[in-house]
Amino acid sequence: MSLIEIADYRLAFDGFEGRVQVLDGIDLAIEAGEAVGIVGETGCGKSVLARSMLRLNPAPPARIVSGQIRYDGADILAMPPDRLRDLRGGTIGMVFQDPVTYLNPVFTIGRQMAEVLRAHEPDLSRAQRRARSIELLDAVRLPDPAGLLDRYPHELSGGMRQRVLIAEALAGNPRVLIADEPTTALDVTIQRQILALIADLVERLGLTLVLISHDLGVIGAVCRRIVVMYAGTVVEDAPAESLFRAPQHPYTRGLLAAMPDLGRPDHMPEGIAGSIPDLRSPPKGCRFHPRCPLATAICSERKPVLDGGPHAVACHAVAAAA
């Protein structure tokens, strides 16, 4: 049994403009101790999938069309509220995309840490909460953690704010850390430091990591397994080394070709022609087929299955060539 098991998971949003079919049959199993990266273009459903692991997509408008999500064997989609609360921020810590909205500008860091701790460990005394806050801020390598408790979010740099949010995600002693674009708003140097911190925490605390980014470089720096999403589907799922050495799916190949090659500054990234589909009326069959250089008739008719682990790929052309 895997620690997290997602099977044939479909989720849609019902809106004024019709139904948006965001996740279309996600299959994903994550083992304890793995560091898994989820990569894909903007709007492909990475954050919706991450929130699904904690049942955090508000329903309505979200509607689960099919499938299952299990944590340690327990069905998250059928979990009673108290167990769900233990999971959220407890067993599974989450660092949300867009750190600014998750720190309240009018409260000190100390007050916000205390509030998070109160939710997890209501019995702690004030002094214990303070000590634990300092310990957590220290764990994310923030200098002068005690002094930091009296500061406001705007007094901190972007990198420091992100560290505070990681500290908050660790407050419930999680087994799993889900980090959604934890470095996107940061400059390259700070980005590296945050990634190094995450890798270090995963190692030290024995965490299972789900790292989400649109940047394969970010994912590749930390994760040993990479899941490539396209328009709400998993198109490739492989060990990182294998994915970088021999990408299979035409979309993954395009993503890799779009990465700047530092060894060859004269090499222009190619990118992928076209743009992501409107998920109100997604393409039939393989959702990538309108942009795919290898597409044949079957691709617009039948959805390809994710096949061939440990390096799994969902592509009719790849399957036909094998």
Ligand X SMILES: Nc1ncnc2c1ncn2[C@@H]1O[C@H](COP(=O)(O)OP(=O)(O)OP(=O)(O)O)[C@@H](O)[C@H]1O
Binding site for Mg ion (CB under 5 A): 46-47, 97
In the chain, what is the straight-line distance between the N-terminal and C-terminal CA atoms, in Å?
Answer: 29
CB 49 → ligand X: shortest distance, Å? 7
From the list ligand X, Mg ion, none, partner contacted by residue 290 (C-beta under 5 to 8 A by kind): none
CA dihedral for 180, 184, 187, 192, sign (positive or negative): positive
Helices (H) and strands (E) in the chain — how many of each? Answer: 11, 11
61's contact among Mg ion, ligand X, none, with CB below 5 to 8 A by partner kind, is ligand X
In the complex, residue closest to Mg ion by CB: 47
Nearer to ligand X, 133 or 213 (CB): 213
As measured in angstroms, the least distance from the Cβ of 306 to ligand X is: 18
Indicate which of Mg ion, ligand X, none lies near residue 214 (CB less than 5 to 8 Å, by partner kind): ligand X
CB nearer ligand X, residue 176 or residue 218: 218
DSSP-H helix ranges across the chain: 46-52, 81-87, 109-120, 126-139, 145-148, 158-170, 188-205, 216-222, 240-245, 250-257, 316-321
Could you count the other beta carbons within 10 Å of the beta carbon of residue 99? Answer: 22
Give the position of tokens 């021999």: 246
**Looking at beta carbons only, is 15 or 206 nearer to Mg ion?**
15
Two tokens, residue 44: 């492909």
How far is the C-alpha of 137 from the C-alpha of 166, rounded, in Å? 9
Which residues are near ligand X by CB under 6 A? 13, 15, 20, 22, 40, 42-48, 61, 97, 181, 214, 279
CB of 218 to ligand X, least distance (A): 12
Q: What is the dihedral of CA 191, 197, 203, 208, to 10 degrees?
A: -60
44 binds, among ligand X, Mg ion, none (CB under 5 to 8 A by kind): ligand X
149: which DSSP letter? Answer: T
48 binds, among Mg ion, ligand X, none (CB under 5 to 8 A by kind): ligand X
Q: Which is nearer to ligand X, 25 or 90 (CB)?
A: 25
**Residue 184 Cβ, how far from Mg ion at the closest point, in Å?**
9
**CB closer to Mg ion out of 47 and 252:** 47
